[in-house]
Amino acid sequence: MMNVQLRIRRYNPEADDAPHWEEYAVEAEPTDRVLDLLHQVKWYQDGTLTFRRSCAHGVCGSDAMLINGRNRLACEYLVKDAGTEITVEAIRGMDVVKDLLVDMEPFWESFKQTMPFLVNDEIPADGKERRQSPADRERYEDTSRCILCAACTSACPVFWSDQSYVGPAAIVNAHRFIVDSRDTAKQERLEIMADPDGVWRCRTVFNCVEACPRDIKITRAILEVTGEIGKAGIR
Amino acid sequence: MTLAVRGGVSPTRVHEMDAIVVGAGGAGLYAALELKQELGPTARIGVISKLYPSRSHTGAAQGGVCAALGNTEEDHWEWHWFDTVKGGDYLVDQDAAEVMCHDAVETIINLEHLGLPFDRTEDGLINQRRFGGHTRNYGEGPVRRSCFAADRTGHAILQTLFQQCIRREVTFFDEYQVLDLALPEGPGGRVSGVIAMQTATSELHAFRAKAVLFATGGYGKIFKVTSNAHTLTGDGMAIPYRRGLPLEDMEFFQFHPTGMYKLGFLLSEAMRGEGGFLVNDTGERFMERYAPTMKDLASRDVVSRSIYLEIAEGRGIGGSDFVHLDVRHLGAEVLNKKLPDMSGFIRTYFGLEPLTDLVPIQPTAHYAMGGVPTDVDGRVLRDAAGAIVPGFYAAGEVACVSVHGANRLGTNSLLDILVFGRRAGKRMAADLADLPEPAADAEAEVSVQARVRDLLGGTQGERPAVIRAELQETMFTKCGVYRTEQLLTECRDEVAALRERARHLVVDDKGSRYNTDLGEAFELNFLLDCAEATVGSALARRESRGGHAREDFPERDDADWLKHTFIARDPAGGHLSLTYKPVTITKFEPKARTY
């Protein structure tokens, strides 16, 4: 067991004039997740501490937070790596609703704008699966791994300065369908991405790549989308 | 309709819908999609979830979903049917399992058409691999039946169905916690909607609809070590149970053999499907002793009990309470390409390298075979005689069809949510014309308001987390892998005492904005109800079968116990009643189960 000092940026607009830092002392095993420490506070010290979480092992995407200055999932970051003084605050560029919980609605709106669904209403004549080669399948392997946690978008300085930018997460999800050989709506998707608030806003700062808990090669996906827009001759 | 406002609880807001789906995992989303496809774009189909849909625990499923496509070797859905029945230790309703295994093939193809990113064979077909308990030719040896998307098949299913629901403009009510059913004619009548609390505002909303589907998942959080998400608190089982409706086969809970030591979440069976195996402290590959044919790919209850016995006999690693999973020989290609998430978990949470290190594992509470009793179209049963509750449907882990019997086979959970979520959606669409117009349950609305007010107003009592931790410890040690009359009796009494203590809870958060403190207090009460039903059913069943292993009754007893448990609580007096329903046997006569 070790003693950890947890500094959390608290803000409840119902009760507080402004965000403020609060400190909590917790005992932790080196293998505890930062999420475990947040639970210790919420369950045994102060039940008003508010954050989202569900699976607690990095697959549901609920608990992206700014921890020790970097976007991470609280359930994937262990005390042995985070140290004995840990700062936690909400991800940036999105309105803080309460403590570590932000307004995700604009994020989902951007996601939905990209037509995040396969379009192909033709069923093969034999009624069986559509054929797809392993190589074609591999093209969207990386981007189909996205868990929509918003760690990338909320780490992007372009997004911080202007939230009308669709952001890296939306582009990742657009990419997943643009390069899927089964999809029939590629042109429409590329036109959406070629919008002034679309893919061209990326300045390849690579913050998103660093922030992604799934290690998705986001900048490469963005470059592939711009390449496809070029090939399609869209301006 | 507006009810009196007191104690800071908002009036009930009303939403009129055609059909309501509670829960946005695979079962709920597939049902919603079917409803939209059957009824057209103007149908008002609402999906209510206490999370955002993409957070649902379907997304945590790893290894695959079985269907006898026969893409990589000979396979037949009848073989799958047999494996499911045998895996369930013959407590499976065989007519229901027949439907599931038969529909599996067409359902998987439909998912591919919807865009699911399955791994492919060199010919471009859906690739398939081996999985525990799945055999060729009625038990001869392992078969490649599991369709997969790397080791995140559930994630791919959840994403695909969520995406298609967006395409079909399903209406989502995200971050609403359902707290009660609307039963306008009282406990003996139809279901006509739900009452939910919007997490963002703590406002109460009444959703009225002719048809309501519960697809809320399981209740693994009654146990200390579990693979389940924090949010899996049995809401969808506890709510009907409180209103006097029965729960079926609650004593059957699956402990998955390869939970990550102490953390509880899973290392997929696919790691053994690809060739990994278990070893004890002496380095022995001990499953060869317990299951000579299937070895490490025997069914989960068998492997979990074997691990438990190795540990009990002192052959846990260093005499401790875990054994090792050895995947070192699988090589970098398999570990990084076919099992990338699993390899990542091992590296992230243990700091171990699966290519060179042994991985500490222990059985972890994973899956409820029991739940809300339904027929093969999701229609909820009122009693063991098979009467239907009009307007009420359930699918997925919350339901008990029963296709898993006493022990679910690996991958059949995903298949269950898909086949029966979809069938429930179709059935609801067909039933809407005949169901009466929805009506309010004013009594339930007032009662939910009172519960919220009591929790917010409480000043004397305990924190929910304290009671929850005791419940989880009690259930894990006394109603776990192995059970006895004495342990279960103690467990029953302790759960009753915890229920009593939970009548006086104190939440710190008295506000209305994202009051998750309040939400967790409700969840604790749901957990306690599920625990009561589980231990009550387990105490009565004096035999060992599948996920219910009694040290004092070690044999399966088909003469007395080849039947489903229905447990119900009288909403007025609190009295528990147990009734039983015969197992449907159509093709496979019960036999001794060996692997």
The pLDDT value given to residue B6: 41
Burial class (CB within 10 angstroms; exposed 0-12, middle 13-18, buried 19+) of B356: exposed
In B147-186, the residues whose Cβ lies within 8 Å of chain A are: 149-150, 152, 155-156, 159-160, 163-164, 166-167
Q: Write out the DSSP string of A65-127.
A: EEETTEEEETTT-BHHHH-SEEEEEPPSSS-EEETTEE--HHHHHHHHHT--S----PPPTTS
Of B136, B152, B208, B300, the catalytic one is B300
Residue A62, chain B, CB below 8 Å: the answer is yes
SS3 A183: coil
Q: Which residues in chain B touch residue A115, judged by CB atoms under 8 angstroms apart?
A: 167
State residue B4's pLDDT score: 38
Interface test with A, best of B49, B50, B51, B54 (most A CBs within 10 A): B54
Residue B3 confidence (pLDDT) = 37
Of B236, B193, B224, give the one whose Cα is nearest residue B50.
Answer: B236
Q: Do A48 and B509 touch (CB under 8 A)?
A: yes
- CA distances to B94, B176, B205, B232, B505 from B12, in Å: 44, 13, 5, 26, 24
Question: Is B167 in Cβ contact with A144 (below 8 Å)?
Answer: no
Exposed (0-12), middle (13-18) or buried (19+): which is A135, by Cβ within 10 Å? Answer: exposed
- Minimal C-alpha gap between B485 and chain A (Å): 33
Task: Report the complex ipTM.
Answer: 0.98
Nearest to A140 among B59, B117, B160 (CB): B117
pLDDT for res B7: 45
Contact B109 A127 (CB under 8 A): yes
pLDDT of residue B63: 82
Q: What is the pLDDT of residue B9?
A: 61
Please tell me the predicted confidence (pLDDT) of residue B132: 86
How many other C-beta atoms are found inside a 10 Å radius of the C-beta of residue B366?
27
Q: What is the pLDDT of residues B73-90, one digit of tens each?
A: 999 999 999 999 999 999
Which of B50, B51, B52 to probe the A interface (max A CBs under 10 A)? B52
Q: Is the peptide bond before B402 cis (omega within 30 degrees of 0)?
A: yes
pLDDT score at B10: 63
**Which residues in chain B (267-306) have CB-CB distances under 8 A to chain A?**
none
Q: Inform me whether the C-beta atom of residue B55 falls under 8 Å from chain A C-beta atoms.
A: yes
Q: Does the beta carbon of A145 lie under 8 angstroms from any beta carbon of chain B?
A: yes
Query: Is B542 among the catalytic positions?
Result: no
What's the count of helices (H) and strands (E) in chain A, helices before strands?
Answer: 9, 7
| pTM score of the predicted model | 0.96
The rounded average pLDDT for each run of 10 residues, N- to C-terminus, in chain B (595 residues) is: 44 93 98 97 97 98 94 98 97 98 98 98 96 93 95 96 98 98 93 98 97 98 97 98 98 96 91 95 97 92 94 95 97 92 93 96 97 98 97 98 96 98 98 96 95 92 97 97 97 98 96 97 98 98 97 96 98 94 98 89
Tally Cβ neighbours within 10 Å of residue A200: 15
* Pairing verdict, β B379-381 and B388-394: antiparallel
Q: For residues B358 and B277, what is the distance between their CA atoms, to the nearest angstrom?
A: 10
Using DSSP, state whether B567 is helix, strand or coil: strand
- Give CA angle at B569 (B563, B575), nearest 5°: 110
Which member of A54, A116, A180 has the closest CB to residue B230?
A54
Q: Chain A residue closest to B62 (CA)?
A: A59
**Binary contact (B509, A47; C-beta < 8 A):** yes
With contacts defined as CB-CB under 8 Å, which chain A residues touch B350? 31
Which chain A residues touch B121 with a CB distance below 8 Å? 134
Preferred mutation among A59, A105, A178 to probe B, highest tally of B CBs within 10 A? A59
Record: contact B51-A61, CB cut-off 8 A: no
What residues of chain B lie within 8 A of the CB of A44, using their CB? 463, 465-466
| Cβ neighbours of residue B432 closer than 8 Å, sequence gap 6 or more | B18, B19, B39, B210, B211
Shortest distance, CA A150 to any CA of chain B (angstroms): 12
Q: Is B221 in CB contact (< 8 Å) with chain A?
A: no
Q: Quick one: closest CA in A to B465, which residue? A: A43
Chain B, nearest residue to A31 by Cα? B349
Determine the pLDDT at residue A157. Answer: 97
- CB-nearest to B163 from A53, A116, A127 is A116
Residues in chain A closer than 8 A to B109 (CB atoms) = 127-129
pLDDT in tens, A22-48: 999 999 999 999 999 999 999 999 999
Residue B309: alpha-carbon gap to chain centroid: 26
Tell me: the pLDDT tens digits for B463-473?
Answer: 999 999 999 99
Task: pLDDT tens for chain A, 235 residues: list them.
Answer: 899 999 999 999 999 999 999 999 999 999 999 999 999 999 999 999 999 999 999 999 999 999 999 999 999 999 999 999 999 999 999 999 999 999 999 999 999 999 999 999 999 999 999 999 999 999 999 999 999 999 999 999 999 999 999 999 999 999 999 999 999 999 999 999 999 999 999 999 999 999 999 999 999 999 999 999 999 998 7
| Cα–Cα dist A34/A78, whole Å | 6
Report the mean per-residue pLDDT for chain A: 97
